[in-house]
Amino acid sequence: MQILDVIIPFYNEEECINPLLEELFNLRNNLKDKLDVNFIFVNDGSTDNGAKIIQEQCAQNDFIKLINLSRNFGHEIATTAGIDSSKGDYTVIIDADMQDPPNLIPEMYNILCENNCHVVHAIRKHREKETFFKKISADIFYRFLKIFSTNPVTLDSGDFKLFTANVRDAVKSIREHNRYVRGIIDWSGFKSTYYFYNRAGRKAGKTKYSPQKLFVLAFNAFISFADKLVYLILILALLFFVLSIIFIFTHKYTAGTIIFIQAVQTAAIGLIGIYIKNISLDTKNRPLYFIDTKYNLD
Ligand code: UDP
Ligand code: MG
């Protein structure tokens, strides 16, 4: 039977663990004729008793796996640790707080099979119990990232995605430290489709993403995936240049000269930016491409 690995990164989610386990057992039961379901919990340096509850479950069920990271490395790294351990035919990433309800996974699996796709992105139609600030900043963030990225960007989707082993192996092969897992999945480019759902509030506890952490995540995502951003500097240089010409033609020589020098400096910064962008791409060592299918070749 084919295997589905459910990856659950968690940090101090003690109150959520028992209700989550119940949901996960139901999921395993519902899928038992189609898939063998494993749960890979990644404890991201929790200081509460959540990991102990899971460890007890591990002793009774070998389909429950637990990775204890040495400290809190953050959600993206914890998710990566889970993906690295996944060996199944399919992988799905969920939050531990049941904001990504496990009972939606069978439908996501059906959609994946019916559409012959590699990724199903769960898209948030509505977000309940979230602040106006979080919703509006997320909306703006995804749209700006899409504008400034050469690669596809899936709007309004978090890490709640179900994907095939091809995609999982692609993510495994990308080892950059500044990680933005959903960006990496989009970047891998495998055929994807969508599943729309209403995102409920968390089951218990508080969000582990402070506004500062969210800002760092968004900033990292921009640096890693908004590759068109650097060309804005060159456009700015061009604007300065045009402005300086206008000033010179209207006999405002001093202002024109100053703005012309500014145009040259901005263009130089833009060019250096492009060189650094290219160097950073090479040091990241991302694979050049991924193969979907091959015929008559090993
Ligand atoms: N998480 C983690 N390490 C962290 C922060 C969060 O593993 O440093 C986990 C967290 O326990 C949850 C998931 O990542 O399972 C998403 O975090 P959260 O639900 O707090 O984010 P939100 O849904 O509010 O954006
Ligand atoms: Mg959450």
pLDDT digits (tens, 9 = 90+) for 20-43: 999 999 999 999 999 999 999 999
Report CA(298)–ligand 1 centroid distance (Å): 40
Report CA(34)–ligand 2 centroid distance (Å): 28
Smallest CA separation from ligand 1 atom 16, residue: 95
Of ligand 1's listed atoms, the one at least distance from the Cα of 208 is 20
Of ligand 1's listed atoms, the one at least distance from the Cα of 13 is 11
- The pLDDT value given to residue 233: 96
| pTM of the shown model | 0.95
Tokens of 204: 């218990």
- The pLDDT value given to residue 298: 85
Q: What are phi and psi of 290, to 5 degrees?
A: -125, 150
User: 208, 210, 216, 220: which to mutate for ligand 1, most atoms within 8 A of CB?
Assistant: 208
Q: What is the mean pLDDT of residues 148-155?
A: 96
Domain boundaries defined on the chain: 2-208+288-295, 225-284
Q: What are phi and psi of 192, to 5 degrees?
A: -135, 165
- The pLDDT value given to residue 108: 98
The CB density around residue 22, as the number of other CB atoms within 10 Å, is: 11
Cα separation, 38 vs 24, in Å, equals 9
- Residue 47: which pLDDT band, with cuts at 50, 70 and 90? very high
- Residue 243: which pLDDT band, with cuts at 50, 70 and 90? very high
- The pLDDT value given to residue 266: 98
Residue 129 bridge partners (DSSP): none
Of ligand 1's listed atoms, the one at least distance from the Cα of 45 is 3
Determine how β-strand 2-10 pairs with β-strand 90-93.
Answer: parallel
What architecture is domain 2-208+288-295? Alpha-Beta Complex (3.90)
pLDDT digits (tens, 9 = 90+) for 128-145: 888 898 999 999 999 999
pLDDT digits (tens, 9 = 90+) for 87-131: 999 999 999 999 999 999 999 999 999 999 999 999 999 888 888
- Pick the ligand that lies closest to the CA of residue 134: 1
Report CA(261)–ligand 1 centroid distance (Å): 48
- Residue 159: which pLDDT band, with cuts at 50, 70 and 90? very high
- The pLDDT value given to residue 141: 96
- The pLDDT value given to residue 127: 87
Long-range pairs for 129-137 at CB < 8 Å and ≥24 separation?
129/200, 129/201, 129/202, 130/199, 130/201, 133/211, 134/214, 137/214, 137/218
- Torsion sign over Cα 77, 225, 160, 134: positive
Cα separation, 287 vs 298, in Å, equals 19
Average predicted confidence (pLDDT) for the chain: 96
- The pLDDT value given to residue 206: 94
Determine how β-strand 64-68 pairs with β-strand 35-43.
Answer: parallel
Report CA(117)–ligand 2 centroid distance (Å): 26
- The pLDDT value given to residue 128: 86
Report CA(278)–ligand 1 centroid distance (Å): 32
In this prediction, what percent of the chain has a pLDDT beyond 70?
100
Centroid of chain to Cα 167: 13
Smallest CA separation from ligand 1 atom 19, residue: 207
- The pLDDT value given to residue 70: 98
pLDDT digits (tens, 9 = 90+) for 185-240: 999 999 999 999 999 999 999 999 999 999 999 999 999 999 999 999 999 999 99
Cα separation, 240 vs 120, in Å, equals 45
Of ligand 1's listed atoms, the one at least distance from the Cα of 206 is 20
Tokens of 269: 């910064």
Report CA(190)–ligand 1 centroid distance (Å): 26
Which residues lie with the beta carbon below 6 Å from any ligand 1 atom?
A: 9-11, 13, 44, 72, 74-75, 78, 95-97, 99, 202, 207-209
User: 7, 11, 79, 142: which to mutate for ligand 1, most atoms within 8 A of CB?
Assistant: 11
pLDDT digits (tens, 9 = 90+) for 68-87: 999 999 999 999 999 999 99
